[in-house]
Each structure stands twice: as C-alpha cells, then as structure tokens.
C-alpha cells in the first residue's frame, strides 16, 4: 500500500520532503535567533539550509509538471532519498567518530541539515537525468521497432499489392489471363491500389504519432476491427468471432489500424490451443471506447504481465508499437484473464468529440 502510494504521488512526496526540511530549518534557527538576541548569523544559516529546502519544493512541483511517467517520477524520488541517506550517513558518521574520540563538534544540527539538503538535491538531479536518459533510450528503441514495422509493411504487404496490380494489369493487355479464378482484373487492380494507399497513409500516421505531432481525427473502430478479423480468420487456422456496435468513433488516426492488426495477429500466433479461438469485442462508454481481444490459449502468467510492455519483452511481438500508439492517443492498454481461458488484451481509447453515446 505504501509503495503504491509513493509510486502514484512521487512529486508530492518530494514537495513534502522539502517542506519538512524547511520547517525544521526555520524552527531551529528561530531558536538560535532568539537566543543570540537578533544576531544575523542564524538568518544567514537559514539561507544556507532553508534555501535548498525550498529548491526541493520547487523541484517537486516541476517534476509533477514534467512528461515523465509515474514510474520514472518514482525513480527520481528513490534516487533523491538514496542520495539524501548517503550524504547524511557520511556526515553523521563524522560526528559519531568525533564523539567517540571525545572531540567537540560545532553545531551538528546545522551541518546535518546542510548534508540532508545537498544529498537530496544531488540525488534528485541525478535521478531526473537518469530517468530522462532511460526514457530517451526507450523511445529510441520504440522508434526502431516502429520503423521496422513500417519497413515490413512497405516491403512485404505493399510489394504484394503492387505485384498483384502489375499481374492483373498485364492481363488487361492480353499478355496473361485469369480464366481459372474468373476474377475481374480491373476490380482486383482497384482493390489492391486502395490497399496500397491505405498502407502508405498508415505509415505516415505512425511516423507522425511517434514524432509527437499526430493530427487526430474521428476514426470508426468497427470497420477496422471487421477488416482485420476477416484477414486473421483467412490467414490463420483460428476461429474469430466479433461483438461490435454499429459504430465506435475514437480520437486517433490511421495508426490505430496496426493496433488492431498486431493485437489480433499476436492472439493468433501465440494461441497453442487445439481449437484456437479469438473473440473481439468493442464496447462504447460515455468517454471511452474499449477494444478487447481474447483468446483461448495458455494465457500469460501474472509475473510476466508487468514486464510484457517493457521494451525488451514487447518488441518481438509487435506490442511495442501497440503500446506506444495507444499512449500517444491518451489511451491505456492492459492484460487480463480471458473468459475463454487464455489472455485478453484490453485497450481503452478516448471517444472522439461529438460522437454519439
């Protein structure tokens, strides 16, 4: 309970630490000031240890306004407390040694207050820099994964679309025919050309979203889920059923397509049941739209769920891109138990403004 509270309110605890240190400084030096009949010494001492305490308060406020995740903010708090304990411990040890040796120590409280302030500030700054370095490294990893996805999308799927267009264009010229399938070449060309354009737009949307400059619009999730559910059913030996409303409009862009695609493909690829099944449901709430992809596989152990969306674990399964895009749309993704007996990936996305409830 205490740990979860710290994780959720790390900046507030930083502010509280600074405020407590400032109050201790004020009370200690106020007593000195009165005892010394208004000497300026205690005021200068208050400036030396009270000033850094106020800086800690300001740091906590800035931390709350930063774009660091809750986990990263908690890491900064841990670094601050660690630095605080280290410097305070060293300074306290020097006073203990002097006391053991019988040597006098001058104003131990003042020097310990200074040590606490300096250690806390040094730890917070080091933790803040470390958190941003880790965030940048993770972002670079995610971008690398996304670029790999776009590369596969362009080289594989787009190449297949263009090959189909070329083949059926040849048949229109009379060089080849498609009498066996009986399909109209013009229709096939138009369909594959449309799919190629969609893939190009999807790649553009992914790039813009990763660069934190997405142009969000109203996107109906229902036809996208229907499209990819049909594709997965055709590509894998798996039964796919859907439970969809008439419409479910979210605030996103074409980058939401690989979110649906990867979740369905992940459920199909890792389903080891003898009769693999996938259920896809979309539910609308006043503020959000929930996408739930469930399977009847072996599931995901609780111990692995927290690490599932870490960069090292999620990259290979395409969940890196899914998680990043969902977060960019101000949504949330989590793993739950499936009613089918396997795992369920649950994505909550904000509804588009003006969409019907």
3-state SS assignment for residue 332: strand
* pLDDT at site 244: 94
**Could you tell me the CA-to-CA distances from 75 to 126, 174, 311, 352 in Å, in that order?**
10, 67, 17, 34
CB 220 within 8 A of CB 247: yes
Architecture of domain 2-140: Up-down Bundle (1.20)
Angle between helices 185-210 and 108-152 (to 10 degrees): 170
User: Where are the alpha helices (H) located in 153-277, listed in sequence order?
Assistant: 159-172, 185-210, 221-235, 256-269
Q: Do the strands 288-295 and 277-284 form a parallel or antiparallel pair, or are they unpaired?
A: antiparallel
Other C-beta atoms lying within 10 Å of the C-beta of residue 278: 26
Other C-beta atoms lying within 10 Å of the C-beta of residue 188: 18
Q: Do the strands 343-350 and 277-284 form a parallel or antiparallel pair, or are they unpaired?
A: unpaired
Burial of 319 per CB tally in 10 Å (0-12, 13-18, 19+): buried
**pLDDT by residue (tens digit) across 61-104?**
998 888 887 888 888 989 988 988 898 888 888 878 887 877 77
In the chain, where the domains are located: 2-140, 142-210, 217-350
* pLDDT at site 311: 47
Which H or E run contains 136?
helix 108-152
Region of 182 (left: φ > 0; alpha: ψ -120 to 50; beta: rest) is: left
* pLDDT at site 186: 66
Cα gap 50→19, rounded to integer Å: 9
Cα gap 267→224, rounded to integer Å: 17
Q: Which fold has domain 217-350?
A: Heat Shock Protein 90 (3.30.565)
Render each residue's pLDDT in the chain as its tens digit; 357 residues: 556 676 778 889 999 999 999 999 888 888 887 877 767 777 888 888 888 999 999 998 998 888 887 888 888 989 988 988 898 888 888 878 887 877 776 677 888 888 888 989 998 999 899 888 888 877 777 667 666 666 665 665 666 666 666 666 666 655 444 444 555 666 666 666 666 666 666 666 776 676 666 778 899 999 999 988 988 877 788 899 999 999 999 999 888 888 898 899 888 888 888 889 999 999 999 899 999 999 988 887 776 766 666 544 433 346 777 887 888 888 999 888 888 888 899 999 999 875 554
Cα gap 37→82, rounded to integer Å: 38
CB 257 within 8 A of CB 321: no
Please name the residue that has the structure tokens 């309110």. 9
* pLDDT at site 316: 39
* pLDDT at site 150: 65
Cα gap 135→69, rounded to integer Å: 9
* pLDDT at site 282: 95
Pull the structure tokens for residue 81: 């407390």
Which positions ≥6 away from 82 have C-beta within 8 Å?
Answer: 123
Q: How many residues does the chain have?
A: 357
Which positions ≥6 away from 91 have C-beta within 8 Å?
Answer: 111, 112, 115
């Amino acid at each position: 309970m205490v740990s979860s509270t710290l994780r959720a309110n790390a900046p507030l605890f930083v502010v509280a630490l600074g405020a407590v240190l400032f109050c201790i400084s004020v009370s200690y030096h106020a007593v000195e000031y009165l005892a010394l009949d208004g000497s300026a010494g205690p005021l200068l001492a208050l400036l030396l240890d009270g000033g850094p305490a106020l800086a800690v308060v300001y740091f906590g406020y800035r931390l709350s306004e930063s774009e660091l995740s809750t986990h990263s903010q908690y890491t900064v708090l841990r670094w601050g407390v660690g630095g605080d304990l280290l410097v305070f411990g060293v300074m306290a040890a020097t006073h203990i040694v002097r006391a053991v040796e019988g040597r006098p120590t001058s104003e131990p409280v003042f020097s310990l207050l200074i040590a606490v302030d300096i250690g806390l500030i040094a730890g917070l700054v080091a933790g803040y820099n470390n958190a941003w370095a880790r965030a940048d490294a993770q972002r670079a990893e995610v971008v690398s994964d996304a670029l790999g996805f776009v590369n596969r999308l362009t080289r594989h799927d787009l190449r297949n679309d263009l090959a189909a267009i070329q083949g059926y264009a040849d048949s229109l010229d009379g060089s080849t025919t498609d009498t066996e399938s009986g399909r109209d070449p013009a229709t096939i060309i138009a369909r594959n050309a449309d799919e190629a354009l969609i893939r190009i737009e999807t790649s553009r949307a992914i790039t813009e979203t990763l660069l934190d400059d997405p142009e969000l619009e109203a996107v109906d999730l229902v036809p996208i889920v229907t499209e990819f559910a049909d594709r997965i059913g055709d590509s894998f030996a798996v039964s796919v059923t859907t439970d969809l409303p008439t419409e479910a409009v979210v605030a996103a862009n074409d980058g939401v397509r690989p979110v649906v695609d990867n979740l369905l493909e992940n459920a199909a690829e890792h389903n080891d049941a003898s009769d693999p099944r996938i259920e896809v449901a979309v539910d609308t709430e006043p503020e959000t739209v929930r996408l739930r992809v469930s399977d009847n596989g072996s599931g995901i152990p609780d111990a692995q769920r927290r690490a599932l969306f870490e960069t090292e674990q999620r990259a290979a399964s395409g969940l890196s891109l899914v998680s990043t895009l969902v977060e960019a749309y101000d949504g949330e993704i989590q793993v739950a138990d499936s009613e089918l007996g396997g795992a369920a990936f649950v994505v909550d996305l904000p509804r588009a403004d003006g969409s019907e409830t």
